[in-house]
A and B are shown apart, each in its own frame.
Chain A
């Protein structure tokens, strides 16, 4: 059962709220208690099971005759929706990158556009900020997950709920919040930061803070359900055999949550690389000084330079899809069960 919590794909399952009672709309493990529905079936032994109902796959004959049509319709509906909402628009961006509407097309033109030094700076800055954010969130995320699951302390439920907070906050609100708190001239901590000569807003630390904020819950939400699942038996056994806390963590806990940690990190990375709204507010956004990849897309688009905007957007699409494909490959296959 250990692989249910990360079979949820890139977006994580419901709030990984850590509770003792299963009442929260919680992780898949909490679902078990509510799955048994109200319909009480008679004891299966006394009901002769009709042969037609054994045939799950075909959804075929007998009472479920219309089922086949429904299945096909549903399939078409879903494929159609996804095609018009995601597939075609994304492929158009790829197309427009190499055949812009009002500009020169072709691979060479694309290469010229992305070899603009501003591109190198922007993507470098984005990557730097994202790696810092992911690093901080991995380390603190791991720590917080362990604390939430393995220990009890007053306010644990509150902390667990608060950890999910960044998912519901609008990016512009994140930017505004950081400016209100840490702006050098008007922020709460302005005077303190000035005296230390630390500049947070309009400088790289501000970008890192914003990126860390928005990707904070992603690692924790992946790790917590797994920690809950695996239980403490092995860890207790190791401790009782004399292993130290660090040893136990490195040898027992970490390998068990390894994949959850990896997924959380990839999720965080994708989120961090794509942050726009918060960075727009806390960063100066100048070329070679605070312009991240996403700001580059917006700035170029706003300067009558659609082709450059599409070129940068294409690179970001490429990175996003690569991350998705990596996660899909690494995820243990669900189909092999049942």
Chain B
């Protein structure tokens, strides 16, 4: 299945596609990069290291890491149950898992507020707390690890697990030595998707995070604040940091999983 070199119509199509892609994605993102550094490097650093902005970025990144971690564990567990377990109504779980992905984020915020807000039937109110932010992030990142791990789990040849069990390996050892290395690429892929989504999240946080500086202020809401205060350079600077962090985590996880795959 060796790809061909471009034919003339294909080249024209590529040109058209690139033009559309540039207009839609590349040029606007380039505008961000350039606007953030328009005032010079000093101004960029000054914006990022402003205590309040820095605190918002730090909170966002730490919360996202936490959410990604929880999803690695729970997402794998959910995928396991979906693939290896059997019980009536399991098909309903499939739909439930995808709800956070299909739901508009502002609606997700309302959804969480109804059970975990001021009028909660459980009496739990996490509005304006870091737990509330964490909860919102768990909600929106739910499907990511599950859906990357699930197809791999499906394809996994159970003969090797059985052989390991027959040789005396405990379930845990089997999981750790046989399955985990096989699932690692999928888990890290899902984790980086979950992380990227979590640091970018906006709609679900608008209603739940109280936006208290240093405590519950997240980066995406800070960006909006800068925009509304007519400080586009600062907004672009924070945006640039978010983009770079996403990219960095993506690359880091890619390297990590290659290392694991080689060892395993």
A170-B189 contact, Cβ under 8 Å, with A13-B148, A39-B164, A297-B110 = no
Q: Identify the stretch in A70-78, A113-121, A283-291 within 8 Å (CB) of chain B at 4 or more residues.
A: A70-78
B243 interfacial by beta-carbon distance below 8 Å? yes
Q: How far is the CA of A176 from the CA of B29 in the complex (A)?
A: 9
A53-B162 contact, Cβ under 8 Å, with A25-B188, A167-B196, A180-B28 = yes
A37 interfacial by beta-carbon distance below 8 Å? yes
Category for how many chain B residues contact A? 35 or more
A9, A168, A309: the one within 8 Å of B143 (CB)? A9
User: In whole Å, how far is B15's beta carbon from the nearest beta carbon of chain A?
Assistant: 10
B57 interfacial by beta-carbon distance below 8 Å? no
Contact A86 B102 (CB under 8 A): no
B1, B95, B164, B223: the one within 8 Å of A324 (CB)? B95
**Chain B 1-17 residues near chain A, CB threshold 8 A:** 1, 3-6, 9-11, 13-14, 16-17
> Dominant SS at the A interface?
helix
A140 interfacial by beta-carbon distance below 8 Å? yes
User: What per-residue 1/0 map shows which CB atoms of A291-309 lie under 8 Å from chain B?
Assistant: 0011001100100000001
- Which A residues are CB-close (under 8 A) to B197? 167-168
- Identify the interface centre among A37, A77, A163, A270: most chain B CB within 10 Å of its CB: A37
Contact A152 B258 (CB under 8 A): no
A188-B27 contact, Cβ under 8 Å, with A63-B165, A78-B81, A310-B110 = yes
B98, B156, B235, B239: the one within 8 Å of A9 (CB)? B98
A181 interfacial by beta-carbon distance below 8 Å? yes
B96, B181, B243: the one within 8 Å of A38 (CB)? B181
Category for how many chain A residues contact B? 35 or more
Contact A176 B17 (CB under 8 A): no
Contact A25 B147 (CB under 8 A): no
Q: Which residue of B lies closest to A245 (CB)?
A: B9
Contact B104 A143 (CB under 8 A): no
Contact A277 B14 (CB under 8 A): no
A2 interfacial by beta-carbon distance below 8 Å? no
**Chain B 99-135 residues near chain A, CB threshold 8 A:** 99-107, 110-112, 114-116, 119, 121, 135
- Identify the interface centre among A101, A232, A324: most chain B CB within 10 Å of its CB: A324
Contact B142 A298 (CB under 8 A): no
A241 interfacial by beta-carbon distance below 8 Å? no
12 A-B residue pairings within 8 Å (CB atoms): A23-B258, A25-B186, A31-B155, A34-B182, A147-B13, A147-B17, A170-B202, A170-B223, A176-B227, A228-B1, A317-B111, A324-B95
- Report B's interface with A, CB cutoff 8 A: 1, 3-6, 9-11, 13-14, 16-18, 20-21, 24-32, 35, 74, 77-78, 80-81, 85-87, 91, 93-107, 110-112, 114-116, 119, 121, 135, 138-139, 142-144, 146-148, 150-152, 154-160, 162-168, 170-171, 177-179, 181-182, 185-186, 188-190, 193, 196-197, 199-203, 206-207, 219-220, 223-224, 227, 232, 235-236, 239, 242-243, 246-247, 250, 253-254, 257-258, 261, 263-264
- Report A's interface with B, CB cutoff 8 A: 4-5, 7-15, 23-25, 28, 30-32, 34-39, 41-42, 44, 47, 49-50, 53-54, 56-57, 63-64, 66-67, 70-71, 74-75, 77-79, 81-82, 84-90, 92-93, 96, 101, 136, 140, 143-144, 146-147, 149-153, 159, 162-163, 165-182, 186-188, 209, 212-213, 216, 228, 231-232, 245, 270, 273-277, 280-281, 293-294, 297-298, 301, 309-310, 313, 316-317, 320-321, 323-325, 328, 334
